[in-house]
Amino acid sequence: MKKKLISVCILSMFLLVGCKSDAAYNEAIELGNEALKNKKYEDAITEFEKALEEKKDDKVATDLYNQSEKYVKALKSLEEREFDQSLELLDEVINYENGSDILIQEAKTLKEQVKKDKELNEKIDKLTKSSQDYFSNKNYSKAIKDIDKALELIKDNKSYDSQKETLTNIKEDCEDAIAKMVKEEEKRIQEVVKKKEKSLNSAGISEDKAKKILANYFRKEIGHAPNTIEVYEVIGNRYHMTADNYDDNGMRETYGWWYVDKSTGEVSR
């Protein structure tokens, strides 16, 4: 009788412990699901871990724990712009047999967003690379055009702050290079103009022009010009000229030798 009583007590203790274990398990599962509803994923993982402590090999608790953990990893991968890894993890979250329906739905929604973010990231990478290539080839206008496209796509996206800075720096380098090219072109044009002016000055006043200059000089000084003015030779940058007046009988009146500067038109003797 005594042995029977002991057996009953032991059985009762096991049943009591089992009931307590079930209660703790159920509470942990319930709290975990509630945390998922509130998007408190780390809290949910903690609760599902408690459930596994009560029932070590429980399939439901295991799937909920792993599903939640993978969803958190998917979020982290997305934050780090590891899009393929994030998509792979989300597929696993969606396919858990005993997983949370709430988490499955969130994973499906997030998956579509990850696809869009991946597409955007590919566009930004392509535009960034093309702008860098254009810059290397000194095609600064096209580089700026691609940079502006990229910046417009990510202007309100804080996750691209680092890339915005990179693109902005490239754009500033392009603008500096363009400004430098403009200055160099202006300088080149000025040099061409100076060379033309120098060439014109070097060619100087023609012989006919020099004759007219000397004739005008005489008109101003003595009221009339000799009827014969000739260039005898060119000495350096000056015309060496004769001025004579012949009458109807061929009699010659000389006005001597004169110089006219080829560059300035200055008259001297």
How far apart are alpha carbons 48 and 61 in whole angstroms? 6
**pLDDT per position as a tens digit, 131-175:** 999 999 999 999 999 999 999 999 988 888 888 999 999 999 999
What pTM was estimated for this model as a whole? 0.62
Q: pLDDT at position 269, please?
A: 87
Phi-psi region of 88 (alpha: psi -120 to 50; beta: other; left: phi over 0): alpha
Instruction: Round the average pLDDT of the chain to a whole number and report it.
Output: 88
Query: Can you give the pLDDT at residue 198?
Result: 67
- Reply yes or no on whether the pLDDT at 17 is more than 70: no
Alpha-carbon distance of 144 to 168, in angstroms, equals 9
Beta strand 238-246 pairing with 267-268:
unpaired
pLDDT tens across 218-257, in order?
A: 999 888 888 899 998 999 889 999 999 888 777 888 888 9
Is residue 8 over pLDDT 50? no
Arithmetic mean of pLDDT, 15-22: 58
204 pLDDT higher than 70: yes
Give 82-128 pLDDT, tens digit per residue: 999 999 999 999 999 888 999 999 999 999 999 999 999 999 999 99
Q: Is the pLDDT of residue 10 over 50?
A: no
The label of the residue with tokens 């307590």 reads: 20
